[in-house]
Amino acid sequence: MRRMSRSLLAIVLAATAMPAFAQDRTERLLGELADAPGPSGFEEAVRAIMVREMKASTDQISYDGMGSVIAAHGSSGPKIMLDAHMDELGGVVRRVTPTGFLSMQMLGGWLDQALPDQRWIIIGSKGPVHAVTGIRDIHVVPTEERGKVFPRDSLYLDVGARSAADVAKLGLSAGDPVVPDAPFVALPGGRYLGKAWDDRVGCAVVLEALRRLAASGHPNRLFVAATVQEEIGLRGARTASDLIKPDIGIAIEGGITGDSPGRNLEETQAALGAGPGIFLYDSSTLPNRKMVALVRDVAAAKRIPLQTDLVQGYGDDSAAIQATAGGVPTVNLVVPARYTHAHNGIIDRADFDGMVDLVVGLIQRLDAKTVAHLRDFAPTN
């Protein structure tokens, strides 16, 4: 390796000594939520952030029997459920080998090609432990196998241990949660790199919407639900809905973009930075048609660019909310995100801000008369 020149060394040292750009409140919140560990069933760290932020806007906080958080605001009017899920894709330690490697049960919809040679954090009894999923060395892989995907069952977590006893000394055992190691980074142009935008971006949206609505007022009883275990079956949304019994349901999710190279136009048409989105179809639910029309009307009135999309192979909490309390008109609104269900994703701040404006405007429109119209299915002739 060549020595670094003095001028280049000076530049590097100066850059590392520079203070980070000042963050505003929203950016700090997005970073904190993205970095928090919270795979399905292990949402404690995210829940602590959500409760802290909710308490700044309301003192009416409750929990369902699975760990979802419900913040209520308003004492009269129809019941509006605003939902985002706290859990992210991750894993759980399955077993420890005699030589100190750990096998992992994946939690949520991972692609096998997203798993090899990635860094992870295992939350053990003595605190976090860094790990990496191994990968075969190219020098020994036959040419005909180099383009193949490594199946997940062939992967093991390597924590640097030499034996099972070493693993135990680290405080690790079967059942410990595993999360991607992918720290939040603010990119140029108002874009953010990080893990778990599905659905920490939604968590930040509902918190900011609650804060603004608590200050400005609204014509309904608002229930902001931060739910658990969405990635393994929409479970928390179902139990939270059982308690709330909403008249209207609004789910906020991380969307899917199709604007990076190599994408099929039919997969998704959404683009980063082109505004918040609404799903007209996904494989778990169809939105209420009148709700879709209302969302479009609010977006147009507020001059918010609104992207529409139809996506296969996607499920969201609105499906669970929709099927409770005798049937609930619902809609799924999304903040576009690149590279979901992987270690690193990217969102655009303008899409986030537009979504908050849209949600606030929508909830302010949901008075008793409007909700009655949305829930009226009687024929008009």
User: Among all residues, which ones are annotated catalytic?
Assistant: 230
Cis? peptide before 199, omega within 30° of 0: yes
Q: Which of 155, 156, 162, 157 is nearest to 98 (CA)?
A: 162
Q: Is 133 within 8 Å of 120 (Cβ atoms)?
A: yes
How does strand 277-282 pair with strand 248-254? unpaired
What is the DSSP-derived secondary structure letter of residue 307?
E
Angle among Cα 33, 36, 38 to the nearest 5 degrees reads: 110
Q: Which of 96, 115, 229, 104 is nearest to 170 (CA)?
A: 96
What is the DSSP-derived secondary structure letter of residue 19?
P
Q: Is 91 within 8 Å of 105 (Cβ atoms)?
A: yes
**Rounded distance between C-alpha atoms, residue 188 and residue 178, angstroms:** 30
